[in-house]
Structure 1
Amino acid sequence: MGKRPTRLTGTPGKSERNTAEHSGPAVGAADGQWLTRGKDGKLTLYALAQDGVVRWSETTVGGPDWTGPHVVPAPGLTHLTVLQGANTYVHFLGRRERVGADGARSADLVHAVQYQTGLAFSDWRSLGNPYADASAAPAAPAGAVARDGSVHVVVHGDRGGLQLRREAPNGKWRNWEVLPGGAVHHSPAAIALTDGRVEMCAAAETGVLVWRQAEPGGDFAGPRAFSLQPEPGTVAALETGPGRATFFWTDAESDGATAWRVGGWPAALGGTPADRPYAALRTTIDGYDCVVLACRSRGGAAVLGTGGAEQEADGFWWYELAETGQGAPALTLDGRGRVVMALIGADGRPRVARQGDGEGLALTRWITLGS
């Protein structure tokens, strides 16, 4: 049996200032890894803005001061997913809708990259529209950046399956390919593992489907189907061992969080059911190898939990915070190794709390980033 992690400690945090609803620069939360740490150790937070992306960046490693908001234009952008590779480059996947001179509507998926904290984005490149009807808006994209830096973009297909587009070793993009398998409810949770492979897990009509690469850069085998019952839209992934992914979701039967690894049994974690994918982080707390999860409850409250990595039987501890937000929260480690949690408030302003000193995982006072 593994060691038991220290419980969450502290009292629910409060924001440093209150603002009117929808008064901030963000019009929506991003998906994916929208709180990132650059090679310089500074954090950057990204959100969806009106026709673009808005970002804030730490001025010094570990904060507490931030610059921003800085808006990066992207006309027609209606959805944003943020990914980060092992080389710390930050990738942006978006869904873009446009109206032509003749009034005809079109939609496509786009990609851009930022190579260093605070620098400009690359040009937005169209990845096309994988749907048969090019006027239909494709689903929100998901993805992962493999260890070699190649970007994998996956989207819920117009016929219920999954469609994948990825970079080739020479940096050029391959054509869209249809992944085998039945109908899925949403785009999957995709994860890039340290052994170079990418895995994907999606809730489907028949349970759970998992696609895996046998080797880095190879084709995706599967899917393997498992008779499990995740709530659609709540699946997340985290590497909890070398080349080994643990998937987290809200279980449709128990209405609590569940952890599961291929080849094992699902483990009930309890807690408040999430309405979006969990943010997942692996770190050391009080000398123990731990998993930290964050989610938004169905009532909109931010929830934080922790337990031993791959030691679900030892217990998982949950803590509902006083903060509320839109979309799913984000987790990362700052340049000093402290857990940082972020969310986008209903007012469009980002709020950030950081792990304090002392035992356990106690968050310091929430701060609202400037507008």
Structure 2
Amino acid sequence: MDTSSAPTTGWLVRGKDGRLTAYAPGSDGVLRWTETRPGGPQWTGPEPIPGRGVLPYLSIAQGADGYVHLVSLRRSRLADGRTGTDVVYAVQYQSGLAVRDWYPLGSPYPNDPDLAGQIGLPSAVIDAEGSLHVFVRNAGGGVCGRAQVPSGKWNKWADLKGSGGVGTVSASLTPDGLMELLVPTADHIMRWEQETPGVKFERADDIPAKAAADSLSSERTGGNRLTHFWHDAGDNTVRAWRPTSDAAPLGNGAGTGPVALLRTPVDGHDCTILAHRDAATGRPALAAYPTEDESSGVSWTLTGEPCVGAPALAIDARGRVVMAAFGTDGTLRVTRQKDESGLAMEAWSRV
């Protein structure tokens, strides 16, 4: 795998048949590992998904139909010798089966390759109607997005405005199907939201916090709410935020990249599971706390060997928490929740 671009999480996905699939950016494409049966423990892979010119970066979105959308940037040489930049996506309809060819979505600057080369890495989300939306930080530090309509056609790129953004856009979907976007700046986090599904985005109040670039992620935590998480730009510890509340610190464990998130019951209690790459050791670190009860405190537990990128979390076909990471040698490592009380995890296995 290639980790030269910004790390992402969300790369461990459960298909409609119950099998987990792991995706990783590689040289000129993507690598894929798939469970041989729901719940494992055996996997196939790595299998290459070719993508000439596709950067070593992935944003992954999955809809209710189980289809997995892989979104990235592709660079290519133009006839005049300059470099062209396109947002591209590919679709996998079923676990382990072939992935459709990469489809270009262009950029907000179709007639200016130099400006197109300044856009940020894309983020993807599937709306309540099953349509794919992609968002990029534009050349001015604002946000542009392009949406697929239910017929399968694509709208034009839309400028959502904003300025001063750094890093990658964070795109997420609330439980009632509304999209939210966050982008960090040097001294605050810009935010956009929808009032109702299908309507244009409106700029919401900025979040008065300094987040490390490329570290934002979100989870549905109650009612129609999202809780947003990031690493603080100063000390790299994790913060959690919801509207009408202050950003709450989650333990003293400093990390890098985005925080992997999973909301699931543990011993009958509604919990939010978190994982990140520890800043000091490079090892995966795992934590859990009662959902939306940040005041209860969070302790981070180091586990496994040093990893690259960001860990991922998922629930397997047997209802167990699964944590995955890529070792420094590029191999996939997996650990699953033990069949006992609590969040005790098995020994890591190398795929």
| Alignment match of 1:325 (pick from 307, 329, 334) | 307
Q: TM-score, normalised on structure 2?
A: 0.93
> Could you tell me which residue of structure 1 aligns to residue 2 of structure 2?
27
Q: Distance in 1 between matches of 2:198 and 2:101?
A: 26
Kindly report which structure 2 residues correspond to 1:264-303, keeping only aligned pairs within 5 A, or say none.
264-299=245-280, 300-303=282-285
Deviations 1:159-185 (A, max 9, x none): 111111111232211111111223211
Q: Which structure is higher in RCO with an 8 Å CA cutoff and minimum separation 6? A: 1
What is the deviation of 1:137?
5.6
> How many residue pairs end up in the alignment?
344
> Could you tell me which residue of structure 2 aligns to residue 38 of structure 1?
15
- Inter-CA distance 215–204: structure 2 relative to 1 (3 Å threshold): same
> Could you tell me which residue of structure 2 aligns to residue 70 of structure 1?
47
What is the deviation of 1:302?
1.1
Kindly report which structure 2 residues correspond to 1:47-62, keeping only aligned pairs within 5 A, or say none.
47-62=24-39
Deviates more, 1:159-168 or 1:263-272: 263-272
Q: Distance in 2 between matches of 1:330 and 1:255?
A: 19
Q: Distance in 1 between matches of 2:330 and 2:58?
A: 15
Asked if residue 133 in structure 1 is aligned to residue 112 in structure 2, the reply is: yes
Judge conservation of contact 2:167–2:213 (CA < 8 Å) in 1: yes
Asked if residue 95 in structure 1 is aligned to residue 73 in structure 2, the reply is: yes
> Could you tell me which residue of structure 2 aligns to residue 354 of structure 1?
336
> Could you tell me which residue of structure 1 aligns to residue 152 of structure 2?
171
Q: Distance in 2 between matches of 1:318 and 1:234?
A: 17
Query: What SS is found at the alignment partner of 1:313?
Result: helix
Query: What SS is found at the alignment partner of 2:113?
Result: coil
Judge conservation of contact 1:257–1:272 (CA < 8 Å) in 2: yes
| Alignment match of 1:108 (pick from 80, 86, 94) | 86
Q: Report the AA paired with residue 26 of structure 2.
A: A
> Could you tell me which residue of structure 1 aligns to residue 139 of structure 2?
158
- Inter-CA distance 288–77: structure 2 relative to 1 (3 Å threshold): same
> Could you tell me which residue of structure 2 aligns to residue 10 of structure 1?
none
- Inter-CA distance 215–263: structure 2 relative to 1 (3 Å threshold): same
Q: TM-score, normalised on structure 1?
A: 0.88
* CA RMSD across the alignment: 1.8
Q: Distance in 2 between matches of 1:343 and 1:362?
A: 17
> Could you tell me which residue of structure 1 aligns to residue 215 of structure 2?
234
Deviates more, 1:94-103 or 1:163-172: 94-103
Judge conservation of contact 2:313–2:323 (CA < 8 Å) in 1: yes
Q: Distance in 2 between matches of 1:197 and 1:350?
A: 34
Judge conservation of contact 2:8–2:257 (CA < 8 Å) in 1: no
Judge conservation of contact 2:124–2:135 (CA < 8 Å) in 1: yes
Deviations 1:266-323 (A, max 9, x none): 2211132222110111001111100011111223221111101011112222111232
> Could you tell me which residue of structure 2 aligns to residue 304 of structure 1?
286
Q: Distance in 2 between matches of 1:37 and 1:114?
A: 12
Q: Distance in 2 between matches of 1:80 and 1:268?
A: 28
> Could you tell me which residue of structure 2 aligns to residue 5 of structure 1?
none
> Could you tell me which residue of structure 2 aligns to residue 8 of structure 1?
none
Q: Distance in 2 between matches of 1:100 and 1:155?
A: 22
Deviates more, 1:113-122 or 1:280-289: 113-122
Q: Report the AA paired with residue 288 of structure 1.
A: H
Query: What SS is found at the alignment partner of 1:327?
Result: strand
Deviations 1:317-338 (A, max 9, x none): 2111232111111111001111
Gaps of 5+ in 1: 1-25
Identity, in percent, stands at 40
Judge conservation of contact 2:287–2:298 (CA < 8 Å) in 1: yes
Q: Report the AA paired with residue 27 of structure 2.
A: Q
Judge conservation of contact 2:276–2:311 (CA < 8 Å) in 1: yes
Judge conservation of contact 2:251–2:297 (CA < 8 Å) in 1: no
Judge conservation of contact 1:33–1:82 (CA < 8 Å) in 2: yes
Query: What SS is found at the alignment partner of 2:305?
Result: strand
